[in-house]
Chains A and B, each alone.
Chain A
Amino acid sequence: MNNTRDTMRDGTSDSSEVLPGLFALRRRIDKMCRAAATLAAIGVVFACAAISWAVFARGALGWNTVWEMEASVYTLIYAALLSAAYTDRAGGQIGVRVLADKLTGRAAEMHRLVMDILTLGLFLIFTWSAWDLFSHSWSTGWTTGTIWDPPLWLPHAAFPVGGALLVVAVTVDIAIRIRGGHIDPPKDAGGH
């Protein structure tokens, strides 16, 4: 959310159009991440409303409540996955920052690059694994087997989408860093 002010580091010369182009791309991806997280947020409100409705419908109207809880679980899975890229960029992932805080200058840039590369590696694997999960439930058409019985691919789809968004975002960041561009760290990053 506070990553919009991107500056190029003095001294590194990348006179080509590549770096400004990458930053422009980064701003677009930021917007995508925010949009996905906004969807996730709407999902949380929806889950609250759905469950509240269930309590009311059962208590006051005597209706059956069979889909609300299951739908809310899936909505919250979407909330966690769709906002993963946004959370990562906003510094919401908590970590131990003992090392990061000691590093300055080139060493600090290198450290961030290595962290980004590890993140990329992990989420490439995760997204591949998530695709496998999704494509299996998609091709079989299996359902959850509950009384509501929605297709399994519905909750599963959150995983490849969320993972891919994070992969794309981190890839652009890595490209910028390798080109010598400097990305301001998020202001209220987690950890210490």
Chain B
Amino acid sequence: MDPVTLALLSIGLLLFLILTGFPIGYSLALATVLMMLVTGDASEIRYIAEGAFTSLDSIELVALPMFIFMGAIISVSPAGKDIYAALSRLLPIPGGLGISTIGGCAMFAAISGSAPATVAAIGSSGVPEMLARRYPARLATGLVVGGGALGILIPPSIVLLLYGVVTKTSIGQLFLAGILPGLMFVVMFSVYTWLRMRRHLATLTPAERAELVAMEQGTGNGDSGMAALRRVAPFFALMVGIMVALYGGWATPSEIAAVGAMASIVLVLAIYRIANLSTWQTLLMKSVRDTSMILLIAAFAYGFAQFLSYHGVVSELTTLLLDAVPNKWVTLFLLWVLMLVMGCFLPPFAIIVIVAPMFLPFILDTGLNPVWFGVFATINMEIGCITPPLGINLFVTKSIARQVPMTEIMAGSMPFLAILALGSLLITIFPQIVLFLPDLMMR
């Protein structure tokens, strides 16, 4: 079977299984098994557990469950409420809470290298708060799906680091290069949130509007912002501590994830005095459930990607693309489309490791900057974290906001996806957005 047919068949089968309602993690595994029967690799079926072990046997993945756990701990405490009670006073404008969420994501992105971890940590307190204050469900969930994107753009970033390793591009420059585009997205997301909330308020009656504004500013619950601020101060101290630990060199990012979770346990016990065993049991069970779901998806996605790679699907498609088009901008556009399509089905890790080294010769050939391309690819990996069927940010958000239908979350994410796409265009037209800091600080 030629690679193109194989790709269409595999992806078609995967889509079919997912649409029948079979869980996504299982669909990835079953599609792999069935395709192995089709291609005459039945003997490979024996090794699917080994493939799952290989993909889970990775220190980089340790941080993910840790941040889920940390998010779960903070979410059972009133800390999330308090953070928003305190933050919303800083931004007494329509959408202030949403903008605070983006700010929270950006802050967390500066301590976390992964997008879903950012979604889990900020979303698990942010989404329930916004929903409680009558934000449209689409906006509340879309905000964290989009805000999570900052996780792998604002340094540290596992994706940029991997890109640097496989392409031998300076990781220091890559990290610096991610900062300005990250801030650019903070501004773009915030402006969108502000406009969207203004429109939302316009559809309400004056009474409802007053109530929402009051709720958003935390006056609705009668609690004083200062009291809330005092209670959350230790959590801000935790964030600062994490930053200091990371840049001050006390620990690696994975270690910081664990220490952060331990510190959260202590803070919740000490400040909120939640010592109720059944509460802890609930949050622990919720953490393992999400951990199991995400890790099984990660494990089986690796198997599926590996199967396609084994049959030369990825490399064949890339070669076809490079041979067919002469113009560098058209080719870049096609690469972009290809990354978006792959982003639908594969996790960023797999795409970067498989694709970046293959694309690099083309990038160097056409005179594009490899640091710039790393950031460009990362932004598009981010879009991949949002696009179904395999959009990890969507799943994490769904696991936080179980009452919001997936269709609503997807609809809410679309504007943020569009902003990310617009951002890719902007950095293509103005590459200085990416290269200004690395050029300034490295030479």
Could you jot down 16 A-B contacts, CB within 8 Å? A40-B292, A45-B284, A48-B262, A51-B66, A51-B258, A73-B59, A76-B56, A76-B61, A79-B288, A79-B291, A87-B289, A87-B296, A93-B26, A121-B30, A129-B49, A159-B49
* CB pair B62 A72 closer than 8 Å: yes
Cβ contacts A120-161/B at 8 Å (1 or 0 each): 011001101110110000000000000000000001100110
B30 to chain A, nearest CB (A): 5
Does A95 make an interface contact (CB < 8 A)? yes
Does A69 make an interface contact (CB < 8 A)? yes
In the bound complex, how far is the Cα of B251 from the Cα of A192, in angstroms? Answer: 40
Q: Using a CB-CB cutoff of 8 Å, which residues 52-88 of chain A contact chain B?
A: 52, 54-55, 59, 69, 72-73, 76-77, 79-81, 83-84, 86-88
Q: B residues within 8 A CB of A55?
A: 250-251, 255, 258-259
* CB pair B407 A192 closer than 8 Å: yes
Does A167 make an interface contact (CB < 8 A)? no
Q: B residues within 8 A CB of A86?
A: 285, 288-289, 292
Does B416 make an interface contact (CB < 8 A)? no
Q: How large is the interface on B (under 10, 10 to 19, 20 to 34, 35 or more residues)?
A: 35 or more
Q: A residues within 8 A CB of B399?
A: 92, 94, 190
In the complex, the chain B residue whose C-beta lies closest to that of A159 is: B49
Q: A residues within 8 A CB of B402?
A: 188, 190
Among A96, A100, A128, A129, the residue within 8 A (CB) of B50 is A129
Q: Using a CB-CB cutoff of 8 Å, which residues 95-110 of chain A contact chain B?
A: 95-100
In the bound complex, how far is the Cα of B58 from the Cα of A69, in angstroms? Answer: 10
Does A191 make an interface contact (CB < 8 A)? yes
**Total A-B residue contacts, Cβ distance less than 8 Å:** 210
* CB pair B289 A92 closer than 8 Å: yes
In the complex, the chain B residue whose C-beta lies closest to that of A188 is: B402
Q: Using a CB-CB cutoff of 8 Å, which residues 37-52 of chain A contact chain B?
A: 37-38, 40-42, 44-45, 47-52
* CB pair B65 A79 closer than 8 Å: yes
Q: A residues within 8 A CB of B259?
A: 48, 51-52, 55
Among A54, A72, A94, A129, the residue within 8 A (CB) of B293 is A94
Does B20 make an interface contact (CB < 8 A)? yes
* CB pair B21 A44 closer than 8 Å: no
In the bound complex, how far is the Cα of B59 from the Cα of A190, in angstroms? Answer: 28
Among A69, A99, A118, the residue within 8 A (CB) of B19 is A99
Among B20, B62, B289, B406, the residue within 8 A (CB) of A47 is B62
* CB pair A87 B49 closer than 8 Å: no
Known A-B contacts A96-B389, A122-B29; A44 and B69 likewise in contact (beta carbons under 8 Å) = yes
Q: B residues within 8 A CB of A188?
A: 402
In the bound complex, how far is the Cα of B33 from the Cα of A128, in angstroms? Answer: 13
In the bound complex, how far is the Cα of B16 from the Cα of A96, in angstroms? Answer: 11
B283 to chain A, nearest CB (A): 9
A interface: dominant SS: helix
* CB pair A122 B26 closer than 8 Å: yes
Among B26, B261, B299, the residue within 8 A (CB) of A118 is B26
Among A42, A69, A94, A133, the residue within 8 A (CB) of B23 is A94
Among A90, A122, A133, A155, the residue within 8 A (CB) of B289 is A90
Does B22 make an interface contact (CB < 8 A)? yes
B409 to chain A, nearest CB (A): 8
In the complex, the chain B residue whose C-beta lies closest to that of A47 is: B258
Does B287 make an interface contact (CB < 8 A)? yes
Does A171 make an interface contact (CB < 8 A)? no
Other 12 A-B pairs with CB < 8 A, given A93-B25, A130-B49, A190-B399: A51-B62, A76-B295, A79-B291, A79-B295, A80-B56, A87-B288, A92-B290, A92-B292, A95-B22, A115-B20, A191-B23, A191-B406
Q: A residues within 8 A CB of B25?
A: 93-94
In the complex, the chain B residue whose C-beta lies closest to that of A123 is: B26
* CB pair B49 A79 closer than 8 Å: no
Cβ contacts B101-120/A at 8 Å (1 or 0 each): 00000000000000000000
* CB pair B398 A190 closer than 8 Å: yes
In the complex, the chain B residue whose C-beta lies closest to that of A87 is: B292
Q: A residues within 8 A CB of B398?
A: 94, 190-192
Q: B residues within 8 A CB of A156?
A: 53
Q: A residues within 8 A CB of B21?
A: 95-100, 111, 115, 191
B400 to chain A, nearest CB (A): 11
Does B93 make an interface contact (CB < 8 A)? no
Which of B61, B258, B296, B299 is most buried by chain A, counting CB atoms within 10 A of its CB?
A: B258
In the complex, the chain B residue whose C-beta lies closest to that of A72 is: B62
B250 to chain A, nearest CB (A): 6
Which of A80, A90, A99, A130 is most buried by chain B, counting CB atoms within 10 A of its CB?
A: A80
Does A1 make an interface contact (CB < 8 A)? yes
Cβ contacts B399-436/A at 8 Å (1 or 0 each): 10010011111000000000000000000000000000
Q: Using a CB-CB cutoff of 8 Å, which residues 375-409 of chain B contact chain A?
A: 388-389, 395, 398-399, 402, 405-409
